[in-house]
Amino acid sequence: MSTLQEFEHAQSRLSREITSLKKQSVLALALAVVFIISTIVLLIQVKHANNQLKVSEDRLKVMNDSIQDLNKQLNTWRVSLITKEPEKPKVKPNPSRPHISAGYEIALPPVAAEAPKPFLGLIVYIHDRKGSRVSDTLKAALLEKGAIVPSIQHISNKMPFGNAVKYFHPNESQTAETLKSQLDQILGKKAIQAKVPVRYLANDKVPIGQFEVWIDR
């Protein structure tokens, strides 16, 4: 009798374990199905995102090509401004009606045309130390005279450099000297004693009309 009870007890325990394993198998199968469905959805989303990315890349390429083409045209126009012979200021008569006094016409004095800007079309990169007393004034003066001056680049105190005006094409030495004169004027007005050498660094990759000004003040 005892043996029969033990057998029934073992059979009952085995039945419970089998039932538990079935439940676990069903749960694992359900999780596997959910995982497969999630993976499929994710793959579809990734594929859609890749398609969108490809479309964006194509659009970006078209825009980049357009920008490069426009940049070439602008650079050609800028170089033409630099290389053409400067025109002498023309004197043109005042278009306003002359005054009439006692039967006589009194002509107004001629009005001189605005003189051309000496730095028109030049690109000047300014490098300085943060807190420079000169850079902002120089940038404003260059912009007023027609130059293109990107944001001033502040150099860390850990990097040594000296004052300089740098040019990269041999036929631009006179323009570099003119830039140096502009900087010397600003240094003089601020009572800053500093020598600014003009340095030629041959580099055909640098666009015509591009200069660098380094200010350690």
Domain ranges of the chain: 1-84, 123-215
- Give this prediction's pTM: 0.57
CB-hemisphere CA count at 13 Å for 208?
A: 15
Question: Whole-angstrom Cα distance, residue 81 to residue 173?
Answer: 17
pLDDT at 27: 87
What integer is the mean pLDDT of 60-68? 76
Question: Whole-angstrom Cα distance, residue 107 to residue 100?
Answer: 9
pLDDT at 77: 79
Asked if 174 contacts 206 with a C-beta cutoff of 8 angstroms, the reply is no
Highest mean pLDDT among 80-84, 110-114, 145-149: 145-149
Asked if 142 contacts 123 with a C-beta cutoff of 8 angstroms, the reply is no
Examine the pLDDT at 115 and tell me if it is beyond 60.
Answer: no
Q: Is 164 helix (H, G, I), strand (E, B) or coil?
A: strand
Residue showing tokens 């995982």: 35
State the helix-helix crossing angle for 173-189 and 135-144, rounded to 10 degrees: 130
